[in-house]
Structure 1
Amino acid sequence: MRSTMSRRGFLAAGSGLAAATTLPALAGCSTLASADSDPDTLVVHSQLGTTAPGSPTYLSALNAFRDENPGLKVKNLVNGDDLAQVYETSRLARKEPDVVMVNLYDKTLAWTDVGATVDVLGYMDDWGLRKRVLPVALDAWTDGKGRLRAFPYFATNWPVAYNTALLRKAGVDEIPTTGDQLISAARKLRAKGIAPVTVGGNDWTGQKLLAQIIQTFLSPDEARKVFTSGDFSGSRGAREGIEYFAALRDAGVFADKAQGLTSDTMTTQFNTESAAIESAMSSALAKVPQKVARHTEVGGWPLAPDAAHTKPTILRTYTLIGFWISPNGTKKLDAVEKFVRFMYREDTVSRFIKESGRDMALRSDTLSTDFPLVAEAQKLGTDVSQALLPDIYVPPAATQPLITATSTAFTRGTSPAKVRSVLEAAYRTA
């Protein structure tokens, strides 16, 4: 039988029957066993530490922090996509880590509201760190009640990468900037046996590109309303954006069977030059082999006539990773302050930019010179228009159903009305 316990109840529960019945089943959880209550041990939970972009720099910076603070032990817990779930489990047992490094997305949207993490605005000001943060990043991490969910850290640019060598091979001399040019380029690429736009139509990469294309005829305010409400039929701009997406899809713009592809497939196809175009965030751009990067340019997604945007669009977000403070972390504020201050230092920030090709939500004049496509994306500026990344507006419970709906949307022949229907059903499921 499905539990009727809300997320608020789950995260807030820490005693009584809920804790008593849950804890025995959690005894083998490594995070619970590792969440040290020693006041001289700072416990950090992060997605950095294995293969995630920026992991080598982070681990090196962590060692430097240890060297500078010999009396403070630091325990680094690492999880991948399951980090949010693991953290929530440890929070239920009141054995959560002190600092959590994760993005603002899906489950984490609810954390501050339900007390799983704390408002850090006061700490930001007390520690004098506000001036280090880009104002747009502060806005993005602040909820509707004025609470700062976490200390902003990683950001990302999300342009479109074009392999100009493959385009030229197919007889396409210029990067397409309109839908008609993109369709023409796709036909020429297919004639040469080259996939046009590769995309993970079965995961979050496809979800983001679909959301970007839907916004072709939407202003930012209109887009916020649509992605908050899930009403894709009641908005004329959303209807037209979905029609534009379906027209591109059925004209063969996307790689074959895009509805079954993943982000890994997408990056492999682009990096091995079996596909000519991909919508790629900074971490993917940093992984493009040098021999491919030399003949790759970044730009925006091509526009339809009468679009709401005046230039091809890209996505940007400043909510990729932040430093969240847990209730346990408030008991070790001296250690937490030292850690956040160290990570906010210009020399530490510059290392992530130079060594790992990361975009940052903090002020810095450093460019990712060893990652030319990342640096090129950082300099796009007014050459492109920015579409809205919907992550902080989509209700958390709708996130995964929207990915399922995305796969249906990328299935050739699916009508615009059907696409609207499955998108709206994802919100009703939530």
Structure 2
Amino acid sequence: MHSPLTRRGFLATGSGLAAATVLPGLSGCSALTGADSDPDTLVVHSQLGTTAPGSPTYLAALDRFRKENPGLKVKNLINGDDLAQVYETSRLARKEPDVVMVNLYDKTLAWTDVGATVDVKGYLDDWGLRRRVLPQALAEWTDAKGRVRAFPYFATNWPIAFNRALLDRAGVDAIPTTGDELIAAARKLRAKGIAPVTVGGNDWTGQKLLAQIIQTFLTEDEARHAYTTGDFGSRGAREGIDYFVTLRDAGVFADKAQGLTSDTMTTQFNTQAAAIESAMSSALAKVPEKVARHTEVGGWPLTGGAVHDKPTILRTYTLIGFWISPNGTKKIDAVEKFLRFMYRPDTVSRFIKESGRDMALRSDTLSTDFPLVAAAQRLGGTVSQALLPDVYVPPAAAQPLITATSTSFTRGTSAAKVRAALETAYRSA
């Protein structure tokens, strides 16, 4: 695994600083001036604070925290998808924020190993917060050396959403649960001018769905091996790729899926231009009420010989965690107060009720105001779970895999070329 925190990486990522934004009233902050030596000022770097799902709840939580801790200031730095790059640059300058809220994927996989952030296992135990974390979440945030990379927080269910009204309009009598049923449904939908499965074939949403379909014939251990090593030559992997190609060339996916993004996918489903999408919880929470009322959630259809006995969904507990930086260890008392507050049951419940977020922490609260999120939470044993490969893909292969995904969603690309594209993503990393 190549460390992203090299001198070369520092020079390459410097331009990302211009993307850093802060909340009104915090104009003195930026990525490189994020550090604050004042022990009574906590600097938090987050993707929450603008349009990201959960932002209003998060900002309200910060306000409550400030009121409960009048002697402690909190500065909130906000970035979008470039957060990891901006953080790495600030860390190389020793100006990094104290706490980082981001997912475990791509660049962040290497952070603990290279000292960009610290192992939080001791803090988790010393502060008595381990009991709040779901066992599955703790396992996913723990690396091969037993280090806990961050305090788990957001999770997500990732089912398939089916617009029942559009299926009915096309004459599809039941939610498809097999590949043959899905192909038949796609033909009927197209005949009515409705896109079947919309997907961001040119970004991470397509990469996740492709991985899910390939795993039709892979056990969890086999899937872990494939996405760790980039070896897609096993019988199960080849059969999974064949299944994907069969579905793609039968017209299951929206036209020109290889060029679509997550935003396009969400728009097509939410405007009822497409009948089916693979949707994580945050996307389900944004489905308009008029669409949600006739939408059902389930799993991805299987085919003969599948290793799973039920349609599959993805689940992950690594969507957002609280990472502690080396600067944060210098203000660990303030960090402890903040994390204890964010782990409180009432704080966690607000994210579930107000924002429809799935959490990596124990809670009896359900997202009752977000019916599709709640429905996904209740799927339980009615679906099987495929492996989300994020924590196994080497960071340097993450972006090349997106390119391989676009190639894979291009109609006419043979199964052999799909496999070659996937494996090349690892060799070029």
Question: TM-score, normalized by length of structure 2?
Answer: 0.95
Residue 401 of structure 1: how far off its partner (Å): 0.4
Who is 1:179 aligned against? 179
Percent identical among aligned pairs is 83
Query: Which runs of 5 or more residues in structure 1 are unaligned?
Result: none
**Mapped partners of 1:402, 1:196: distance in 2:** 24
The 3 A distance-change label for structure 1 pair 27 and 33 is farther
| Corresponding position: 1:122 with 2:122 | yes
Residue 23 of structure 1: how far off its partner (Å): 9.2
**Mapped partners of 1:93, 1:314: distance in 2:** 41
| Corresponding position: 1:79 with 2:76 | no
Residue 9 of structure 1: how far off its partner (Å): 3.9
| Corresponding position: 1:316 with 2:315 | yes
Who is 2:159 aligned against? 159
Are 2:133 and 2:361, in contact at CA under 8 Å, matched by a contact in 1?
yes
Residue 39 of structure 1: how far off its partner (Å): 1.0
The 3 A distance-change label for structure 1 pair 365 and 110 is same
| Corresponding position: 1:7 with 2:4 | yes
Residue 391 of structure 1: how far off its partner (Å): 0.2
CA RMSD of aligned residues (A): 1.9
The 3 A distance-change label for structure 1 pair 184 and 142 is same
The 3 A distance-change label for structure 1 pair 24 and 38 is farther
1:8-157 matches, cutoff 5 A:
8-10=5-7, 30-157=30-157
The 3 A distance-change label for structure 1 pair 111 and 314 is same
**Mapped partners of 2:321, 2:360: distance in 1:** 9
Who is 2:395 aligned against? 396
Cα deviation per residue 1:57-116 (whole Å; 9 max; x = unaligned)?
A: 000000000000000000000000000000000000101000000000000000000000
Q: How many residues align?
A: 419
**Mapped partners of 1:82, 1:27: distance in 2:** 11
The 3 A distance-change label for structure 1 pair 6 and 292 is closer
- Matching residue's letter, 1:259: Q
Are 2:154 and 2:321, in contact at CA under 8 Å, matched by a contact in 1?
yes
Are 1:194 and 1:274, in contact at CA under 8 Å, matched by a contact in 2?
yes
Residue 324 of structure 1: how far off its partner (Å): 0.2
Residue 38 of structure 1: how far off its partner (Å): 1.1
1:225-374 matches, cutoff 5 A:
225-233=225-233, 235-374=234-373
**Mapped partners of 1:208, 1:286: distance in 2:** 19
**Mapped partners of 2:342, 2:118: distance in 1:** 19
The 3 A distance-change label for structure 1 pair 273 and 122 is same
Residue 32 of structure 1: how far off its partner (Å): 1.3
The 3 A distance-change label for structure 1 pair 428 and 24 is closer
Are 1:23 and 1:93, in contact at CA under 8 Å, matched by a contact in 2?
no
Who is 2:26 aligned against? none
Are 2:3 and 2:114, in contact at CA under 8 Å, matched by a contact in 1?
no
Cα deviation per residue 1:37-69 (whole Å; 9 max; x = unaligned)?
A: 211100000000000000000000000000000
Residue 7 of structure 1: how far off its partner (Å): 2.8
The 3 A distance-change label for structure 1 pair 93 and 23 is farther
- Matching residue's letter, 2:90: S
Residue 35 of structure 1: how far off its partner (Å): 2.5
Are 2:98 and 2:327, in contact at CA under 8 Å, matched by a contact in 1?
yes
The 3 A distance-change label for structure 1 pair 276 and 401 is same
Equivalent position SS for 1:315: strand
**Mapped partners of 1:181, 1:58: distance in 2:** 42
Equivalent position SS for 1:211: helix
- Matching residue's letter, 2:106: D
Equivalent position SS for 2:51: coil
**Mapped partners of 1:25, 1:188: distance in 2:** 46
**Mapped partners of 1:34, 1:209: distance in 2:** 37
Equivalent position SS for 1:31: coil
Residue 34 of structure 1: how far off its partner (Å): 3.4
Equivalent position SS for 2:372: helix
**Mapped partners of 1:6, 1:342: distance in 2:** 33
The 3 A distance-change label for structure 1 pair 26 and 174 is closer
Are 2:45 and 2:99, in contact at CA under 8 Å, matched by a contact in 1?
yes
Are 2:35 and 2:43, in contact at CA under 8 Å, matched by a contact in 1?
yes
Are 1:298 and 1:377, in contact at CA under 8 Å, matched by a contact in 2?
yes
- Matching residue's letter, 2:381: T
Equivalent position SS for 2:31: helix
**Mapped partners of 2:89, 2:136: distance in 1:** 32
Equivalent position SS for 1:64: helix
Cα deviation per residue 1:318-347 (whole Å; 9 max; x = unaligned)?
A: 000000000000000110000000000000
1:182-221 matches, cutoff 5 A:
182-221=182-221
Are 1:311 and 1:384, in contact at CA under 8 Å, matched by a contact in 2?
yes
Cα deviation per residue 1:194-252 (whole Å; 9 max; x = unaligned)?
A: 0000000000000000000000000000000000010112x110000000000000000
| Corresponding position: 1:170 with 2:170 | yes
**Mapped partners of 2:290, 2:379: distance in 1:** 22
**Mapped partners of 1:28, 1:407: distance in 2:** 26
The 3 A distance-change label for structure 1 pair 269 and 64 is same
**Mapped partners of 1:129, 1:379: distance in 2:** 26
**Mapped partners of 2:143, 2:46: distance in 1:** 22
- Matching residue's letter, 1:212: Q
The 3 A distance-change label for structure 1 pair 26 and 160 is closer
Who is 2:222 aligned against? 222
**Mapped partners of 1:185, 1:27: distance in 2:** 47
Cα deviation per residue 1:383-422 (whole Å; 9 max; x = unaligned)?
A: 0000000000000000000000100000001000000001
Question: TM-score, normalized by length of structure 1?
Answer: 0.95
- Matching residue's letter, 1:130: R
Residue 31 of structure 1: how far off its partner (Å): 1.4
Residue 135 of structure 1: how far off its partner (Å): 0.4
Residue 306 of structure 1: how far off its partner (Å): 1.1
